Amino acid sequence: PTVTGAALSTLIARTPDDSAAVVADLDGNGTNALLLPAAAGMAFVFGSDSAARHMASLTEGGVQASLSQCSAISFDLDTPENYRRVCAAGMWRGVALAVPGVGDRGRQRS
Using pLDDT thresholds of 50, 70 and 90, give the confidence band for residue 97.
low
Query: Which pLDDT belongs to residue 94?
Result: 55
Q: Tens digit of pLDDT for each residue in 66-82? A: 999 998 899 888 888 88
Give the domain range for residue 104: 77-110
Query: Which pLDDT belongs to residue 102?
Result: 54
Query: Which pLDDT belongs to residue 103?
Result: 52
Q: Is pLDDT of 107 > 60?
A: no
Query: Does one domain contain both 56 and 109?
Result: no
Element (H, E) at 55: helix 50-60
> Is the CB of residue 62 less than 8 Å from the CB of residue 78?
no
**Amino acid (1-letter code) at residue 3:** V
Query: Does one domain contain both 89 and 104?
Result: yes
Query: Does one domain contain both 64 and 28?
Result: yes
DSSP 23: E
Query: Which pLDDT belongs to residue 108?
Result: 47
Query: Does one domain contain both 63 and 84?
Result: no
> Is the CB of residue 79 less than 8 Å from the CB of residue 25?
no
Question: What is the pLDDT averaged over residues 28-54?
Answer: 92
Predicted model pTM: 0.76
Share of the chain above pLDDT 90, in %: 53
